[in-house]
Structure 1
């Protein structure tokens, strides 16, 4: 069967072709693996470069677009940015520009929050320092930047940033609220009223109350109750300020569709004022009549013996009523200025806040407390912050008249003030 045998040269040729095919396949596989590695390395290089550029843009020009100063620290990796740059190289202007407060105020804030925010190291990782946790929260409140961007800047995950913001806001409300956000006591009422009379010329006044709508993004639940009369979604901040432009009462838990009078009547301020918290002992006289101290409000609030508002504009107003309206409008300017400074410091209150609705009231409360802390420590508000808020100001909803009945005795009190202010004007 010699004819059935395969020639030896043919066997060798087949073996050569098989070996060459296997070698070509191995070379192609190795080439494919090298190409994958090259693309992965290129992608990693691109992401690292993008991350460094993002860090430099945020840390270098957040609040001052005209700032062209060159800094060595703009090229440092973001994981070291906090330890090597902020704590060692930041100048006083940098602290004020980035964190809306001086370094001394920042360290004071960290000292007050350390008892609540300090964490212990674990076997897996060291705990974040209190200073870094507070800085992350302040950056969020001051810039309203997304959590992911802040995480890239401070070298932490998005969920960690969210946790820091939540814990710091709750800690500020719990530990600093009792000291920096409280109504004047009986011994402080005279001083508060004297400040209003000296600075604004309105006697017997210890506060100005008003509301501010804070814009939010579309919530996942019922959006109708958050849509205000101006047509956009908001949460209402009801604030009461003293003659220095500092808050002493804040209510921030009502959706945007709620009327101002309803918010007032369901707040602790209403319960305290109607219970006599604004009444000094004994009551101080005005035009020979003893009166309790009072607040000034807008037309949206019901007229009370402790809450006065201006007369509706009319050509039939008496000279005393006109003098009352002019003095009240001038005095209420302290509240508008305070709201403006509040939003200028903490941009999360005038930009659409994308936090969860469960955190927004605590965030608003924390911003009001931080505003008082900065005012007490005399930290400046830069003009460019005020200009930015003025350029992008959301149109506040028009105040509607209260549907509740007003106190008949309040008109007599308001008339007494008209007589007093007209007498001062004539003198």
Structure 2
């Protein structure tokens, strides 16, 4: 019996192995049957679907929404006078057509188009209406009968084209002949010789990104870009890409004027015409500023010199009065804002060259609205008096107690 024990164990192991193998084969067969049943059920379902009619395609309600262009096509083009053109588009009809000719190569509609293209005159009018009124895209789209995305597309197209093309002719450093003429004009009006321009800067409100907001916050605690410009009665050098939180000297160092100062015209071989700046500017061989701690004679010189700065203040005020989009925080992307600011400066020069005037009502409106965004240099005194008043109130309260 003991000799049969190994044989019995072997038989038991074989029986167990056969049982396990049989169960595994049964499971495999069941899985195959289950899959085949599922496949047959799927085929039967598809066969039933193939016998059903296909659902009708979803028809579009409209190919393009019908919009009312009556204001532009009938009222503006047929009935508007020059006064009304100036009020809405900041220039007369004749000047407007010259601007359209200037932008022809940049904004003319394509010859091949699925839909009827927006004509060039309407494209330029949309942009001028946006820059002149500062209205939002929805309002302008309803006014002209186009979609708001179309308004935005034309504004961005116009401004980028202006900066890349015509602005080089509209804003540039004067040559020697032009500089001499500007100098004679300043001397006749302000009795200061060898002056070819006045430099200053203002802050233009923008919608700044949250991740770098601190870089754009100026001394008044609102986000802005710094527009630095040299003017006579027009702009001949601008810089508008520096965030509002930058220091004064940084704005000047980053400007194109500073980089190209050696190209400024001269009246003689080593006598350079001067640009007049405020107290915050450094004294350079081409940049003139008033005396600090002045004597009586030096103070007299400062008075004459400061009278020149009225020119740049008036020019900035005219710029913002004509193009109201600069008066308040616009809906432009912050990276596009310098392009829009430069475009407004170029259009200002274009209007001045064509003899377009700035309405007194525009100036009054800009003066009232500018009170909400006072320039940082003027706000120092406001902050000083507020802080002084708070300290005085605390001091009086302590004494009375």
Range into which the TM-score falls when normalised by the shorter chain: 0.7 to 0.9
Residue 194 of structure 2 aligns with which residue? 204
* 1:116 to partner: Cα distance: 1.1
Q: Which residues in structure 2 correspond to 1:23-422 (within 5 Å)?
A: 78-242=68-232, 245-273=233-261, 275-283=262-270, 291-312=271-292, 314=293, 317-393=294-370, 394-398=373-377
Deviation string 1:343-393 (CA, Å, 9 cap, x unpaired) is: 000001111112101211111011001111111111111111111111121
Partner of 2:163, secondary structure, is helix
The root-mean-square deviation of aligned C-alpha atoms, in Å, is 2.0
Partner of 1:398, secondary structure, is helix
Q: TM-score, normalised by structure 2?
A: 0.75
> Contact (CA 8 Å) 1:214, 1:237: kept in 2 or not?
yes
Q: TM-score, normalised by structure 1?
A: 0.70
Q: 1:131 to 1:220 in 2, by over 3 A?
A: farther
* 1:218 to partner: Cα distance: 4.1
Partner of 1:188, secondary structure, is helix
For the residues of structure 2 that align with 1:137 and 1:123, how far apart are their CA atoms? Answer: 22
Deviation string 1:172-206 (CA, Å, 9 cap, x unpaired) is: 22332122111111332222211211122111110
Q: How many residues align?
A: 313
Give the structure with higher Rg (CA).
2
Query: Unmatched 5+ residue regions in structure 1?
Result: 1-47, 49-76, 284-290, 401-427
> Contact (CA 8 Å) 2:205, 2:326: kept in 1 or not?
yes
Query: Unmatched 5+ residue regions in structure 2?
Result: 1-64, 380-401
For the residues of structure 2 that align with 1:295 and 1:123, how far apart are their CA atoms? Answer: 51
Partner of 2:230, secondary structure, is strand
Deviation string 1:281-317 (CA, Å, 9 cap, x unpaired) is: 434xxxxxxx3111001122111121111223x5xx3
For the residues of structure 1 that align with 2:178 and 2:337, how far apart are their CA atoms? Answer: 31
Deviation string 1:225-273 (CA, Å, 9 cap, x unpaired) is: 110011111111011102xx10000111111101222111111101222
